[in-house]
Structure 1
């Protein structure tokens, strides 16, 4: 998706974090450690789930897909940020910039749709236990994951394709550490009102629909538990889930569900770090590593490797 340009511009410059660029090597190590921890944690989860037959259930199938997409999601952004911190190389070609923007938005939307599927899966497992095996059969599980990917693709390909056809007359400095939709729109010298309205509506729908489904499914699931002790235990588990969800949704709503405000773009960088650094670190712990079944599978695997 090559942009339509009136002057000879071949690349953008990612501003990154100029106020701390003199501490680039320190921040490189911090973000590298966070990236490796998140990636290794998610890949470890995928390996355990697929290696242990006891975890071959719909919930863990969705979690393994969630972990894989999360790895791809952060990989679309963090390696370039590491390059900026380490070498100060901030240039990115037009093609690479729009490709990064599309992959980031596509995988990000897919993650939110998958969160809705995970919450619905728990609702069916707890509230409809007799019908659950029939409803959540392997074909349905694959169909749901494929639907999440398809929805993420079709919702994001149109606005990014429209964005790539705008005219960019300069300057070419993006006040961000990756090619995000808002900063790119602000750099265009074309009329961007239609694309801003479209992106706002799409962001509102993706975030709003997945948030409503997730919250309602969690609340109904917990309230349908038969005993007060089970509800208390479920609330304890859900509280950690809601912590991560609140970080993810609040940061994305702050960035994407708002009118064009160029003066607030700098604060978008800090909010974007929540979704690209903080929550990817928390997700493996919150959604899987605190689970007793995963603990048992891990102990069995370690015992097998040690024998």
Structure 2
């Protein structure tokens, strides 16, 4: 829908998902699979943590919160994207578009902080196992989750103020699969560079959590290499020396892989436009979609279903058979 050069009030946006018609059927099927796996995996994680009191510990509070965020994120995005591709239901009311944009950015920001809290949790559990119960409690975890939401809310307040300042005199068509701040800025008539600079500023802020995550996991890997005796490794990781190293590095690799899948595409997509480097619509869409909808599907597999306690709790839920409880020291150092 093209508009005249005069600035008028925008009552709706038109989403135009830049996907080739021959690829639409495959994309819809892929989105449906991703959403079903996301629903099943994250709902199962939430249910198991709620029903098994042994899992109601700081680490699993973080995992449960991550599952809630992932569930909300993909529910906010995928059904609308599928409807857009299937039925071309592209017009979105102005207010609904802003709500979707707010949720996307807010949930992604909180998830970024959650990854940081989880990395710090594992750092304390491995490096300071004896002090873990005193340093990491339910109160500190919930305080961290609350602080993450407050910081994200402050950042999103700036975004929402900036969006309401934008004027649209040329078009209200957003060449994207969901309502996105950067796309709104690019199609608007507002030339002030402060609106694009916000993207690079926010991406720069995101580098802070990523740095903490990498440093935490580096310290954990260094600690695994420093422990010389097989008995020492057995006490920390509950496995033999060689198996201990292999398990630690496998876990660290998979965790970092998911985080890079989350951080790297978003950083590229948001920093480059702020630096004046234009991405094609297809490239931008692909980067943002991959970073937004794939991690919520993979997080339960990486953070939950590989965990021994979680696997035992799931078996108990479906079979009714009780599993032997693990020792507290093993539980708190479990990845």
CA-CA distance at 1:24 after TM superposition: 4.0
Partner of 2:11: 10
Unaligned runs of 5+ in 2: 1-5, 228-232, 234-240, 323-335
Instruction: Identify the match of residue 286 of structure 1 among 290, 296, 302.
Output: 302
Contact 2:221–2:248 at 8 Å: present in 1 too? yes
Say if 1:213 and 1:135 are closer, same or farther in 2 by CA, change over 3 A: same
Give the distance between the partners of 1:305 and 1:132, measured in 2 at CA.
30
Q: Deviations over 1:105-164 (max 9, x none)?
A: 011010000000000000111111222111212211110111111111111221232122
Contact 1:98 1:164 in 2 (8 A): no
Correspondence list, 1:96-245, <5 A: 96-205=96-205, 207-225=206-224, 226=227, 227=233, 229=242, 230-245=244-259
Compute the displacement of 1:261 (Å). Answer: 4.0
Selected match of 2:320 from 298, 304, 307: 304
Measure, in 2, the Cα distance between the counterparts of 1:45 and 1:256.
Answer: 31
State the partner residue of 2:35: 35
Distance 1:85 1:198 in 2: 30
Query: Any stretches of 5+ residues in structure 1 without a counterpart?
Result: none
TM-score (norm 2): 0.84
Cross-structure match for 1:254: 268
Query: Which structure has the greater CA radius of gyration?
Result: 2
Separation in structure 2 between the aligned mates of residue 24 and residue 264 of structure 1, nearest angstrom: 19
Structure 1 residue 241: Cα displacement: 1.2
* Structure 1 position 23, deviation (Å): 5.4
| Mapped partners of 2:104, 2:180: distance in 1 | 8
| SS in structure 2 at match of 1:257 | helix
Asked whether the equivalents of residues 269 and 284 of structure 2 are also in contact (C-alpha less than 8 Å), the reply is yes
The alpha carbon displacement at 1:275 in A equals: 2.1
RMSD of aligned residue pairs (Cα, Å): 1.9
Verify the 8 A CA contact 1:14 1:92 in the aligned structure 2. yes
The 2-side partners of 1:138 and 1:168 are apart by 47
Conservation of the 8 A alpha-carbon contact between 1:14 and 1:176: yes
